[in-house]
Structure 1
Amino acid sequence: MRNFGSIKRNALSSVAVASSLTLAASVAAIGTAHAAVKVTITGTVSCAKFDESTPKTVTITPKKGTPGSDEPAGEEKVEKYTIKLTGIPSTGTTATAKVVCEDSDGDTNTYKTKDFPVKKPASGGPVTFNLPA
């Protein structure tokens, strides 16, 4: 004669294992759907609003992700910059850009551009963002 209690227990154990595997697969799929991406931002930076100043640093700080910065090499009032950000959510985020301008006496002025959108374009190429925006 069969012990129906042990058959019922084995069936319930199998259901529990299957449910656990299904839950783990769901969690893994959700984690993949929200994976972080790299976003490259390029553009021009201007210190024209400050007399005789040139851009020294550009820093972009996303709300979610890792900040990045660049030090334009030239001595013009308008220079090019490129910043690579990592850890940006695949759905995007907002960021703040901070520009430090320096004049020939070494005096600095700073300005910020707040809450501009950062999202990797479908093409996978860089995002263009000119400062001031």
Structure 2
Amino acid sequence: MQNFSSVKRKTLSSVAVLAALTLAASVAAVGTAQAAVKVTVTGTVSCAKFDDSVPKTVTITPKKGVAGEDEPPGEEKVEQYTIKLTGIPNTGTTATFKVVCEDDEGDTNTYKNKNVPIKKPPNGPLTVNLPVA
């Protein structure tokens, strides 16, 4: 019977270790989830550098977090956009802004701004006017 008791103790020890590791992983996941914030980015987008073009889409791709996209009305060379990003770290990140401009014939031109800082401001949305100088 000593063998049975020894096996039982080892099994209980293994279960206890597994439960502790599972709990630690759950706590780590909750801590990571709380470190991410939502950031609303708004501003103007301009296609003035392309003759007779209007903004078709604005895409923001953060290095950390979830990308977002907006489709402005596309009637003027300068339009308003609003994009809600999730999963942005509390400390902020950088992002690539991509703008697709379209002319009357359906031809498109694209420009990008890389490494634009993204951080949740204390009040209201983050304003980024495109192109970024």
Hey, what's the Cα distance between the residues in 2 that align with 1:62 and 1:116?
9
2:84 counterpart letter in structure 1: K
Aligned to 2:39: 39
The higher radius of gyration belongs to: 1
Shift of 1:80: 0.3
1:107 counterpart letter in structure 2: D
Aligned to 1:126: 125
Hey, what's the Cα distance between the residues in 2 that align with 1:90 and 1:132?
25
Shift of 1:89: 0.6
SS in 2 for 1:41: strand
Q: How does 1:40-79 map to 2 (within 5 A)?
A: 40-79=40-79
Hey, what's the Cα distance between the residues in 2 that align with 1:104 and 1:117?
33
Deviations 1:12-42 (A, max 9, x none): xxxxxxxx7xx95xx56x9169611000000
TM-score (norm 2): 0.76
Hey, what's the Cα distance between the residues in 1 that align with 2:93 and 2:53?
31
Checking the alignment, whether the CA contact within 8 Å between 1:34 and 1:89 is kept in structure 2 is: no
- With 114-123 and 40-49 compared, the bigger mean Cα shift is at 114-123
Q: How does 1:104-119 map to 2 (within 5 A)?
A: 104-119=104-119
TM-score (norm 1): 0.76
SS in 2 for 1:109: strand
CA-based RMSD of the aligned residues comes to 2.4
Shift of 1:51: 0.2
Shift of 1:74: 3.7
Shift of 1:72: 0.3
Deviations 1:40-98 (A, max 9, x none): 00000000000000000000000000000000014100000000000001111000000
* 4+ aligned runs moved over 4 Å, structure 1: none
Aligned to 2:80: 80
SS in 2 for 1:76: coil
Hey, what's the Cα distance between the residues in 2 that align with 1:43 and 1:130?
5
Unmatched 5+ residue regions in structure 1? 1-19
